[in-house]
Amino acid sequence: MPAILDTAITIIGAGVIGLAIGEKISESFSNVFIIEKHPAFGRETSSRNSEVVHAGIYYPPGSLKAVLCVKGRKLLYEYCIKHDIPYNKCGKLIVATKQEEISIIKDIKETARDNGVDLEILEKDHVRALEPAVFALKALCSPETGIVDTHSLMKSFETRIVHNGGQIVYGSEVTGIRKLDKGYEIQLMDADGQEFCFSTGIVINSAGLYADRIAAMAGINDEKLSIHFCKGEYFRLNPPKNRLISRLIYPVPCHNLEGIGIHATIDLAGGVKLGPDVNYLDSNIQDYHVDVSKQEVFWRSAKKFLPFLSQDDISPELAGIRPKIQKKGDPVKDFYIMEESARGLKGFVNLIGMESPGLTSCLSIANYILELVINIE
């Protein structure tokens, strides 16, 4: 082992969570590295999502997803105000379009209350007054839900990391991790195929879609932490009908929260996306193709609560992939965030299965990781 470690803390992955952690850690520690295999930040899950700031409605009370989402939402809005990040606290309606869904939204209201989130049940006339183009028998209103400019947020984190003295190394992929007596040796390959290595005291694995592979490099081969690629596709609502709604409109969520249904999401430019759907991929390959043949399915799904839609009002937009540790059909799984001393890997911190509400929770996750790092003995 080298007498002196090359760096104190290394964060693997420069998505929104890795960058938020880097910004927080670099405030308190010097000699912080962030390693990213792509040539720029946020090239995978962080740039292919709905950009929604979630209130913390659906998640099991007491879970990391619930606790970190509620804390993170408040922190995120405060950060946006302080650092001039574009956002819109537009609110959200979860709509019941069938009689049997009314009892479900009542249950959602109770779960949200247990998470510290107050929602209001709106009657049909109230929904129509707020959103004249939306059909609902009843709806849950979430005034704290919003949208954020994810790119501007990540750019702000990147700028502040550099200002704090942290270093971000783009275009370098981790190819190996070796435990040292104190710390770790990390092997990298750069964009030209050249390999090099360096030593670090602490490793924070925030590698998103490939976090399980990074964990395996360190010797953690746990089937319960295997990531399953879950693809979600989006269609956009073409002008001028994109101007007919001013809030996020969600259906009642899917069973076991595999997804929260094809919903309508406004963006900061005035556009509207429909999606995402839920499609577990057979292999962990990044497939961002949007299947045009799904247009009718998306239309029929959204038409239940957006009755003004015609099939030709929508067109393909984008696709993203969720890094789920929840297998298809399984009960909902929580974030896995753990300092792995119990596995004999002191100073190795895993973040695995960081799907939604990861964006909303990024700042509270960063605080959580800072506490873990401070308490490593």
d(CA 354, CA 207): 9
Confidence of residue 282 (pLDDT cuts 50, 70, 90): very high
Mean pLDDT of 123-131: 97
Q: Where are the domains of the chain?
A: 7-47+151-226+332-374, 92-143+228-324
d(CA 53, CA 253): 17
pLDDT at 344 exceeding the cut of 60: yes
In CATH terms, the superfamily for domain 92-143+228-324 is D-Amino Acid Oxidase, subunit A, domain 2 (3.30.9.10)
pLDDT at 82 exceeding the cut of 50: yes
The pLDDT score that the predictor gives to residue 377 is 67
Please tell me whether the peptide bond between 357 and the residue prior to it is cis, using omega within 30 degrees of 0.
yes
pLDDT at 260 exceeding the cut of 90: no
- Look at residues 143, 101, 97 and name the one whose alpha carbon lies nearest to residue 120: 143
Residues of the chain with pLDDT > 90, as a percent, come to 95
The pLDDT score that the predictor gives to residue 257 is 55
Confidence of residue 253 (pLDDT cuts 50, 70, 90): confident
Least confident of 23-32, 34-43, 258-267, 295-304: 258-267
The pLDDT score that the predictor gives to residue 111 is 95
- Tell me what the pLDDT averaged over the chain comes to: 95
Mean pLDDT of 47-61: 96
Mean pLDDT of 43-49: 97
The pLDDT score that the predictor gives to residue 285 is 92
pLDDT at 246 exceeding the cut of 70: yes
pLDDT at 275 exceeding the cut of 70: yes
- What residue ranges in the chain does DSSP mark as E strands? 7-12, 32-35, 52-53, 87-88, 92-96, 120-123, 138-142, 146-148, 167-169, 172-179, 184-190, 195-205, 228-237, 248-250, 263-266, 272-275, 279-280, 314-324, 336-339, 348-352
Give the model confidence (pLDDT) of 169-216 as tens digits.
999 999 999 999 999 999 999 989 999 999 999 999 999 999 999 999
CA distances from 329 to 95, 256, 258 (A): 24, 7, 8
Confidence of residue 2 (pLDDT cuts 50, 70, 90): very low
Q: Which residues contact 12 (CB under 8 A, 6 or more apart)?
A: 18, 35, 174, 186, 203, 204, 205, 206, 207, 214
Mean pLDDT of 8-31: 97
- Six token digits for residue 289: 């193709």
In CATH terms, the superfamily for domain 7-47+151-226+332-374 is FAD/NAD(P)-binding domain (3.50.50.60)
The pLDDT score that the predictor gives to residue 28 is 95
The pLDDT score that the predictor gives to residue 1 is 38
The pLDDT score that the predictor gives to residue 359 is 98
The pLDDT score that the predictor gives to residue 3 is 47
Mean pLDDT of 29-35: 96
- Compute the Cα dihedral for 85, 86, 91, 95 and give only its sign: negative
Helices (DSSP H) in 131-262: which residue ranges?
150-163, 211-217
Q: DSSP letter for 225, please.
A: G
Cβ burial of 223 (10 Å; 0-12, 13-18, 19+) is exposed
Give the model confidence (pLDDT) of 93-115 as tens digits.
999 999 999 999 999 999 999 99
CA distances from 231 to 263, 353, 369 (A): 15, 14, 28
pLDDT at 32 exceeding the cut of 70: yes
d(CA 47, CA 279): 18
Taking residue 182's Cβ as centre, other Cβ atoms within 10 Å add up to 12
Q: DSSP letter for 332, please.
A: P
- What residue ranges in 3-123 does DSSP mark as E strands? 7-12, 32-35, 52-53, 87-88, 92-96, 120-123
Least confident of 3-7, 26-30, 64-68, 223-227: 3-7
d(CA 272, CA 252): 19
Count H helices and E strands in the chain, helices first.
8, 20
- What residue ranges in 124-247 does DSSP mark as E strands? 138-142, 146-148, 167-169, 172-179, 184-190, 195-205, 228-237
CA distances from 348 to 60, 172, 218, 366 (A): 27, 20, 8, 15
Q: Which residues contact 140 (CB under 8 A, 6 or more apart)?
A: 57, 93, 94, 105, 108, 109, 112, 119, 120, 121, 122
Please report, as a single letter, which amino acid is at residue 60.
Answer: P
